[in-house]
Every structure is written in structure tokens, then in C-alpha cells.
Amino acid sequence: MKTAICPGSFDPITNGHMDVIERAAGIFDRTIVVVMQNRRKSCLFSVEERMNMIRASTKHLYGVEVETSDKLLVDYCRDKGRAVIVRGLRAVSDFEHEFQMALANRHMNPEVDTMFFAASESHQYLSSSLIKEISSYGGDISTFVPPQILRDVLRRFESSTLQG
Ligand code: ADP
């Protein structure tokens, strides 16, 4: 049984992430979406909140699980057995970083391979940062995030606006 590991920050999950997760779930028996705890990144949503938002957004998908890890990704994959890392590639800008990560991971653990899905045309420009930026100015993000989490994201920005 082959497992796909979809790692990321998911702060918050977007329709771009959903596109990659849905495509992975259509190919693999088991797809694990892993909220990676990155010490160098400060996130708007807590790990628990991000996991809950992913769970709510992927409930309809077969074989999708949500986990978190503070380990090096290759060590996490080693624990999962026969796993393939699945990442999404947006425009050229993602390529250099993703290529470097894939090579480094394969160097550290030759059994772990990385597969890339080219982002769908309609999601090329989508990122969690863009959504946070638009939302912080009260812009409409309803077409950018899964409907199941829209209220949670809006509520977070309403409360931060109230706090000044
Ligand atoms: P990270 O901090 O590891 O880049 P992200 O949450 O930003 O985590 O992204 C997780 C994965 O989702 C990455 O592989 C990223 O390239 C992919 N991704 C993010 N946005 C999109 C999008 N709009 N279309 C396709 N893939 C995307």
C-alpha cells in the first residue's frame, strides 16, 4: 500500500492545497496531510486549528488523514514505511526551493521520493500569505479557501481588527 505524504504549513489551508490533496487522494490508497511545525515560521493559526481546518475541508475525501510533526520530513516519512512526498508546484518561483528540498531529502533518505503536481491554472497565484493579506484588509476570500473553513478564517480577522 502506497502512502502519499502532503507536508506544509497550511496557515490556513487554501483551494490550492485542496487541489493537490484531492489529486493525491485519487491516486494513493492513503494520503496523510502533515502540518509541519517549522520553528522558523510564525503562523497565524495554531497547529490544532490548522489540523481542524484541514480535517473539516477533507472530510469528503477517501483515505485522507491529518497529522502533525516536528521532525525532519525524511524521518517522519521513514516512520510511515513506503511513502512518497507529494508537493504542489506553482509558477517557476516554487521550482528552485522545491528542487533543492527534494534532492536534499533523497540524499538523506534514498528510499523517499518526491512527486510534484503542477498547480491548476486557476490556483497558480494562490497562497496562504495572499489570503491573509486580502483578509486583513476585509477583502473577499470566499473563492480562495474551502467553504468549510471560511467562517473560521473570517472570525480570526474580525477578532484581530477588534483588538486593533
Ligand atoms: P510550505 O511552508 O511547506 O511551503 P505551504 O502550506 O505553503 O507549506 O504549502 C504546502 C504545499 O502546497 C507545497 O507543496 C506548496 O507548493 C503547495 N501549494 C501551496 N499553494 C498551492 C497552490 N496554489 N497550488 C498548488 N500547490 C500549492
pLDDT per residue as tens, the chain (164 positions): 789 999 999 999 999 999 999 999 999 999 999 999 988 889 999 999 999 999 999 999 999 999 999 999 999 999 998 899 999 999 877 899 999 999 999 999 999 999 999 999 999 999 999 999 999 999 999 999 999 999 999 998 887 655 54
Which ligand 1 atom sits nearest the alpha carbon of residue 10?
6
In this prediction, residue 30 carries a pLDDT of 96
What are the distances in angstroms from CA 135 to CA 62, 126, 144?
Answer: 31, 13, 11
User: Could you list the active site residues?
Assistant: 17, 41, 90, 128
Identify the bridge partners of residue 36 per DSSP, sorted by sequence position: 69
Cβ neighbours, 10 Å, residue 56: 15
- From 33, 57, 87, the mutation candidate for ligand 1 (largest count of ligand atoms within 8 A of CB) is 87
Ligand 1 site residues (CB inside 6 A) read 8-10, 14, 16-17, 19-20, 87-88, 90, 94, 119, 123, 126-128
Which ligand 1 atom sits nearest the alpha carbon of residue 126?
23
In this prediction, residue 63 carries a pLDDT of 96
In this prediction, residue 109 carries a pLDDT of 92
Residue of the CA atom closest to atom 1 of ligand 1: 8
Residue of the CA atom closest to atom 24 of ligand 1: 16
In this prediction, residue 162 carries a pLDDT of 52
Q: Choose among 156, 161, 117, 153: nearest CA to 14.
A: 153
In this prediction, residue 125 carries a pLDDT of 92
**DSSP letters of 45-90?**
S-HHHHHHHHHHHHTTSTTEEEEEE-S-HHHHHHHTSSEEEEEEE-
